[in-house]
């Protein structure tokens, strides 16, 4: 009963939580397997941000419950945001679940599994579903040991969670309900983790938080005019072996002068920023409870581009928020083009029960949302291709991450602007920063050749 398959839905925070659970299970002697058919235990780490993500997870859980009829020893658990959001309601739909664990209780998963397995091995009755959804003080400090039991695993790029929860109240968002209030880890603990990751070969660190640039605003004092988050960036920047630092997901409200200036004096931050817009219409931004305007967003981007010439910019957009008119969408489209985003995550609005927007329903037709979504996707493809094509003939420093998924002898890496490059290489280049001359371009990636002999 020691083979565990973990399937993750949703954001990088969920991926990081799954890594932490996997590490804790490895440390207890469990084996993490790559497919459900090999597993004794299936854990689904779920997302509630969009209805589609919830429905996928519920559907998968239903399949696993049916599989239990053929494999009675199989244990099935649901973790994360959907477990937290829907709670015991899930048991009405899936009464044969073995485990239901919320967002502040990931670190209890090994104990819960051992209790279930021990009861089964004692030939007693199969225990009732273990439900663990309560808040827990200090839970943000339990997410650290994501490499325990994986000493031989080498990762060029690693996620580091610096906080949990969110204090914003965006009208469309369920995260404050599923993740709770903001709680941050100490800077020293984060840096200690980064040092260990660097010692194991990590060259790129991505700092994770729901509103990552709100880090520590209640717990950590400012130093002069330097915010806690910029203090953390400075501390991570000083770690030997770390070549690049990224962070997600920030909020425009937190892009103050000290953070913008940090991009000019901390070279490991590179030339890439993710800055969620959500809408280019001031009236929709107000309805979403996003406390900035189009003009305020424009000023932030202008300041960043002044500090970082050649900045690469990505964003999040929601189309079809209740009340979004054709004029509102046109404002978003025009602003999206003006900002020349290089990458974007574009979503069709879905109602999230319990949010302040939920009473507004979902009045915009699915076909309209689909059409608006496609307009932005087409524009994004055009903008990305134009940016990539302009790099043909230039040499970019590429951090080599892994063999490419397709193409014999090809390796994949990313530029300082977080753009994907494929090129012929060798395994020993993984983890190295190498100069690559760009030879071809598409909207999704570039092709290149090493500029120096191997």
Query: Which residue ranges make up each domain of the chain?
Result: 3-132, 154-270, 299-387, 395-450
- The pLDDT, as a whole number, for residue 12 is 86
Fold of 3-132: Rossmann fold (3.40.50)
Instruction: Choose the weakest-confidence range: 13-27, 233-247, 437-451.
Output: 13-27
CB 19 within 8 A of CB 162: no
Same fold, 3-132 and 299-387: no
Fold of 299-387: Transcription Regulator spoIIAA (3.30.750)
Residue whose entry in the numeric block shows the structure tokens 């302040």: 356
Is CATH 2.40.50.140 correct for 395-450? yes
pLDDT at position 454 over 90? no
pLDDT at position 140 over 90? no
Residue whose entry in the numeric block shows the structure tokens 């729901």: 210
- The pLDDT, as a whole number, for residue 149 is 47
CB 325 within 8 A of CB 279: no
- pLDDT tens, 281-335? 999 999 999 999 999 999 999 999 999 999 999 999 999 999 999 999 999 999 9
**What pLDDT band is residue 341 in, cutting at 50, 70 and 90?**
very high
pLDDT at position 152 over 80? no
CB 22 within 8 A of CB 6: yes
Burial grade of 91 (CB within 10 A; 0-12, 13-18, 19 or more) = middle
- The pLDDT, as a whole number, for residue 128 is 82
Burial grade of 309 (CB within 10 A; 0-12, 13-18, 19 or more) = exposed
Alpha-carbon distance 281 to 257, whole Å?
Answer: 24
Edge-first strand listing for the sheet containing 343-348: 272-274, 312-319, 343-348
- The pLDDT, as a whole number, for residue 280 is 98
Copy the structure tokens of residue 405: 């998924």
CB 356 within 8 A of CB 289: yes
CA distances to 100, 140, 180, 183, 209 from 137, rounded to whole Å, are: 19, 8, 11, 9, 17
Alpha-carbon distance 364 to 360, whole Å?
Answer: 11
- pLDDT tens, 397-447? 999 999 999 889 999 999 999 999 999 999 999 999 999 999 999 999 999
- The pLDDT, as a whole number, for residue 154 is 67
CB 236 within 8 A of CB 207: yes
Question: Selecting from 3.40.50.300, 3.30.750.210, 3.40.190.10, 3.40.50.10860, what CATH number does the domain 154-270 have?
Answer: 3.30.750.210
pLDDT at position 127 over 80? no
Task: Give residues with Cβ within 8 angstroms of 19, minimum separation 6.
Answer: 146, 159
The backbone torsions φ and ψ at residue 205, rounded to the nearest 5 degrees and listed phi first, read: -115, 130
Q: Over the chain, what is the mean pLDDT?
A: 92
pLDDT at position 115 over 60? yes
- The pLDDT, as a whole number, for residue 367 is 98
Peptide bond into 249 cis (omega under 30): yes
Q: Where are the beta strands (DSSP E) in 144-234?
A: 157-161, 163-164, 183-184, 204-208
Burial grade of 297 (CB within 10 A; 0-12, 13-18, 19 or more) = buried
């Amino acid at each position: 009963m020691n083979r565990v398959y973990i399937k993750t839905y949703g954001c990088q925070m969920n991926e990081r939580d799954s890594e932490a659970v996997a590490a804790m299970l490895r440390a207890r002697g469990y084996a993490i397997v790559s497919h459900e058919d090999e597993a004794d235990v299936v854990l689904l780490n779920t997302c509630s941000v969009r209805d589609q993500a919830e429905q996928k997870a519920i559907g998968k859980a239903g399949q696993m419950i049916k599989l239990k009829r053929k494999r009675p020893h199989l244990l099935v658990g649901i973790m994360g945001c959907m477990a937290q959001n829907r709670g015991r309601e899930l048991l009405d739909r899936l009464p044969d679940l073995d485990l239901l664990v919320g967002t502040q209780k990931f670190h209890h998963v090994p104990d819960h599994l051992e209790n279930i397995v021990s009861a089964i091995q004692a030939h007693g009755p199969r225990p009732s579903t273990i439900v663990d959804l309560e808040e827990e003080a200090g839970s943000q400090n339990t997410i650290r040991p994501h490499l325990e039991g994986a000493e031989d695993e080498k990762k060029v790029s690693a996620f580091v969670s610096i906080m949990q929860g969110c204090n914003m109240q965006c009208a469309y968002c369920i995260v404050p309900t599923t993740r709770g209030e903001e709680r941050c880890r100490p800077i020293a603990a984060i840096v200690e983790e980064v040092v260990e990751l660097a010692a194991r070969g990590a060259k790129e660190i991505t700092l994770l938080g729901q509103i990552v640039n709100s880090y520590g605003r209640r717990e950590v004092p400012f130093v002069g005019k330097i915010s806690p988050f910029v203090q953390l960036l400075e501390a991570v920047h000083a770690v030997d072996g770390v070549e690049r630092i990224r962070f997600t997901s920030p909020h425009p409200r937190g892009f103050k002068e000290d953070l913008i200036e940090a991009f000019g004096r901390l070279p490991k931050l590179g030339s890439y920023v993710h800055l969620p817009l959500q809408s280019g219409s001031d009236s929709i931004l107000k309805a979403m409870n996003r406390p900035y305007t189009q003009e305020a967003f424009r000023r932030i981007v202008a300041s960043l581009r002044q500090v970082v010439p050649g900045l690469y910019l990505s964003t999040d957009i929601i189309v079809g928020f209740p009340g979004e008119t054709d004029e509102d969408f046109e404002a978003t489209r025009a602003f999206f083009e003006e900002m020349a985003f290089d990458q974007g995550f574009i979503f069709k609005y879905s109602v999230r029960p319990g949010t302040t927007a939920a009473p507004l329903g979902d009045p915009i037709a699915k076909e309209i949302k689909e059409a608006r979504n496609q307009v932005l996707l087409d524009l994004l493809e055009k903008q990305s291709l134009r940016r990539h094509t302009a790099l043909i003939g230039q040499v970019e420093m590429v951090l080599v991450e892994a063999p490419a998924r397709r193409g014999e002898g090809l390796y994949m890496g990313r530029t300082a602007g977080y753009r994907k490059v494929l090129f012929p290489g060798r395994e020993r280049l993984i983890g190295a920063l190498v100069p690559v001359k760009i030879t071809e371009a598409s909207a999704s990636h570039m092709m290149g050749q090493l500029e120096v002999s191997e």
